[in-house]
């Protein structure tokens, strides 16, 4: 994740890009993506509705983009995960 209202040169700096979570493929297959990511989604809902307090100021935020590699993005979206399949991605 990155904070979108940072200056552009800060947003693209690797120091300002943070990992939110890692979910093992075996857990997604066992529990499905919605169940495996439930805690992350609940935390994001709280961040959007209630916010967090930083220096006595309530800060709220939301997700504006989701990024991942082809296989992970296809798995998250419920699309064809086999790139050698009969159909193109």
pLDDT tens digits, 9-28: 887 888 888 888 888 888 88
Query: Given the structure tokens 């989604």, which residue do they identify?
Result: 41
Domain positions in the chain are: 8-77
Q: What does the block give as tokens for 50?
A: 């209630």
Label residue 42 by pLDDT band (50, 70, 90): very high
CA–CA separation, 89 and 59 (whole Å) = 39
Query: Given the structure tokens 């699309």, which residue do they identify?
Result: 79
Say what the pLDDT of residue 75 is.
77
Say what the pLDDT of residue 88 is.
58
């Amino acid at each position: 994740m990155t904070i979108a209202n940072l200056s552009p040169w800060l947003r693209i700096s690797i120091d300002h890009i943070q990992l939110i979570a890692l979910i093992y493929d075996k857990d997604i297959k066992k529990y499905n993506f919605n169940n495996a990511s439930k805690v992350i989604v609940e935390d994001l809902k709280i961040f959007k509705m209630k916010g967090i307090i930083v220096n006595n100021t309530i800060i709220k935020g939301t997700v504006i983009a989701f990024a991942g590699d082809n296989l992970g993005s296809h798995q998250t979206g419920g699309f064809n995960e086999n790139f050698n399949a009969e159909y193109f991605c």
